[in-house]
A and B are shown apart, each in its own frame.
Chain A
Amino acid sequence: MKPHFGRMSGIAVVMGLMLTGGAAIASDNHIVVAPGGPHPYFAVWEQAAADAQKDFGIASVKYRVPSDWKLELQTELMESLASQGVNGLGIFPGDPVGVNSTIAELKTRGIPVVTLGGCAQDPTDAVFCFATDPYKTTYTMTKALIAAIGGKGNIVHITGQIIDTNTKLREDAVQKAIDETNGAVKLLQTVADTDLDPTVADQKISALFAASKDQIDGIIATAHNSSAVTAKQLRSLGDKRIKFIGFDDDQAVLDDIKDGFAFGTYLQNAYGQAYLGAYALDLLASKTCTMKADAPWDKSPQTVHFIDSGVLKVTADNLATAKDEMKKMATGIQSKFKATYLNCK
């Protein structure tokens, strides 16, 4: 059976919550979790929403997807949901800056909004952001790649859309890790705009390999589709010399790790983001809990109300045990969430 960690981590969170008394008092809240547009990363959110509804006794937790990655479509969806009586929204911001005005309007109508999987840029009225820290994760990934290539050589960064502010953070993080090698490692190229359209990604990464395959010692991919396409191309090239560190759990990446075409990948806690997001929104919308003013927030370059949803490094060494490690991480976050961040009546 091929491993699929997004779903596995979800099951793990459910089990953890049941063990820790997560089956809360039934509520009449209507919660929605909505990504910024269609993307395979969010596929597991639908199950997470259904599980959260069942496990916490919430009237409804729905997963709604704008038909395209356009901020306008997401804000229209948010406004429409508010008009339909939804009283808690968890969103991946279609744009970290542009979404703020809608969040502010919803707040004035008493609807709490949390950002999941990605943050809104401060100043924002989003209650908190529960996501992977793009800067910290990319820095960690780059350090791991540098170690994997022996501390010297040329690396390539394959990343998402250039108009995504997270892309700039990722580029900065890669550069910081490279600068710390004092010239031993060089950034050969950054290939951006490879996340939303796999066809475009395929063309760009093909061109990259055609032009400079022999000069590349390591590749880091910091977006879901970018990672999946790179993994497929490395396999088709039959190249095990280039060290590749991917992102998320596309089956192509996991297979590459197993067969030696990829050094490793970093898994995000996608399921946990939606599941715990719905849990928190239910408590906030019920007015039974408020956020602690002195909660131990992490800080990200985008917001000072950041909660790291965590990542897990997976290599051939822990491919088989990654499931248990994800379970440990997810249950750890959940078990402490209410006590750490909320004041409840």
Chain B
Amino acid sequence: MSTTDLAPTPRARFEIAPQLGLAIIVGLLVVVFAWKQPGFVSSFNLFGMGRSLAVDVTVGFSQMAVLATGGMNLAVGSIGVCSVMFAGYLMQDLGLPVPLAFLLAVMLGGLLGWLNGFTIVRSGVNAFIVTLASANLYSGAMLILTKAQPINVLPPIVSSIGSYEILGYASPALVVALVIGLALYVFYRYSVPGKETLMAGANARAASMSGIAVSRSIILAHVLSGVLAGVAGLMVVARVGAAMPAVGGEDWLLPSFLAPVLGGTALAGGFVSVVGTFLGAMLVTVIRSGLLFVNISNFWLQLFLGLFLLAAVLAQRYRGLFRMRLT
């Protein structure tokens, strides 16, 4: 759960720091890039950045849902592309209405996530191994079934959604990402299943002894992750107006970890930061776009992202040590 609204106890103040620090960094970067290149804050660029940010945020939320349990989901991109191609098939080949096709595609994401969670719980095998295998399994099945051919005769409304500009600046996808973020905040902060997921992630044994169905929480987390991966995939479908087999896959792996980890979500489980994940994705998007504007080769992006990720992980470690001293 995000701690940005906790009472300002010494510990809470300490935990607010990562998100606040991240927000300041993002703000400073925006100012610097806008100062160097005014076009950075042009409506066209803000719209484009918002559209990319929406996907990065949703992919980050997808990974965050599983990190909450102390696990991980390496199949985020594979589930995303399965939803993408399934949505395309439903709309183009079966002629289903767009809302129904999108709904079924998201449900497929949830089903594939459920398969991951079920396998992990039943087999007792580490989430890393299970999702590594399922990532290849899902991608392979998708390539076999689609013959890697894009589906590009979709109803015009699909691409209209992707190119629609709210007030000339914002993408509908960004609004969807914000709504998802709000829902996740409520889920982890106020709902029983959300709290149980965090408790299961913090200490599975203690949670189990407290009567929490840890297995159910793990499966739920993977279903949620699958659903969010599906939503992210559909954002891309709307963005490009086609269902393409090149969407997602391994390309989503690093962004999926970057956003939550930069935002302060604990890799060990038990603590998530919805606001932080949003800011983490924002940092990546701003750097990526800003480097293009100041004419620094995008090859530097990898270096910057690596440095930020390392700093975030070290900060987490430092926070852990600090907490131990406080207690």
Interface residues of A, Cβ cutoff 8 Å to B: 65-67, 70-73, 75-77, 79-85, 95-101, 104-105, 109, 121, 162-163, 165, 168
Contacts and interface: CB of A to CB of B under 8 A. Distances in A.
B236 to A, nearest CB: 8
B241 A77 contact: no
Interface residues of B, number: 36
A85 to B, nearest CB: 7
B298 A66 contact: yes
Interface stretch (B13-21, B42-50, B263-271): B42-50
A104 B242 CA distance: 14
A80 B293 contact: yes
Contacts of A101: 159, 162-163, 239-242
22 contacts: A67-B297, A67-B298, A67-B299, A73-B288, A76-B289, A79-B44, A80-B45, A80-B293, A81-B292, A82-B44, A83-B48, A83-B293, A84-B293, A98-B246, A98-B247, A100-B240, A100-B241, A101-B242, A109-B44, A121-B150, A165-B149, A165-B150
Contacts of A165: 149-150
A76 B163 CA distance: 14
Interface string B201-224: 000000000000000000000000
Interface in B25-63: 37, 39-40, 42, 44-45, 48, 52, 55
Interface string B113-149: 0000000000000000000000000000001000111
Nearest to A62: B295
Contacts of A65: 297-298
Nearest to A109: B44
B42 to A, nearest CB: 5
B303 to A, nearest CB: 10
A85 B39 contact: yes
Given A70-B251, A79-B45, A101-B241, A84 B289 contact: no
A188 to B, nearest CB: 21
B221 to A, nearest CB: 26
Given A80-B293, A100-B241, A162-B143, 7 more contacts: A75-B48, A82-B44, A83-B293, A84-B293, A101-B240, A163-B148, A165-B150
A79 B241 CA distance: 17
A76 B52 contact: yes
B152 interface: yes
A100 B156 CA distance: 13
B141 to A, nearest CB: 14
A283 to B, nearest CB: 24
B298 A97 contact: no
B39 to A, nearest CB: 4
A171 B241 CA distance: 26
B211 to A, nearest CB: 45
A67 B301 contact: yes
Contacts of A100: 152, 240-242
B327 interface: no
A46 to B, nearest CB: 12
B27 to A, nearest CB: 20
B245 A71 contact: no
Contacts of A82: 44
B240 A98 contact: yes
Interface string B146-184: 011110100000010011000000000000000000000
| Residue among A71, A76, A109 having the largest count of chain B Cβ atoms under 10 Å | A76
B293 A71 contact: no
B302 interface: yes
Contacts of A98: 150, 240, 242, 244, 246-247
Given A70-B251, A76-B48, A83 B298 contact: no
Contacts of B289: 76, 80
A138 to B, nearest CB: 17
A97 B299 CA distance: 25
B140 to A, nearest CB: 11
| Residue among B55, B147, B149, B150 having the largest count of chain A Cβ atoms under 10 Å | B150
A327 B55 CA distance: 47
Contacts of B241: 100-101
A95 B44 CA distance: 22
Given A67-B302, A105-B163, A165-B150, A83 B242 contact: no
A85 B295 CA distance: 13
Contact of B39 (A76, A83, A97, A109): A83
B300 to A, nearest CB: 8
Contacts of B163: 101, 104-105
A105 B293 CA distance: 19
Contacts of B240: 71, 95, 97-101
Interface string B230-263: 0000000001111011110001000000000000
A168 B149 CA distance: 9
Given A73-B298, A101-B241, A121 B152 contact: yes
Given A67-B301, A84-B37, A72 B152 contact: no
A72 B251 contact: yes
B301 A83 contact: no
A163 B148 CA distance: 5
Contact of B292 (A77, A96, A163): A77
Given A71-B246, A79-B48, A84-B37, A168 B148 contact: yes
A77 B242 CA distance: 20
Contact of A80 (B48, B143, B244, B299): B48
Nearest to A73: B298
A72 B250 CA distance: 13
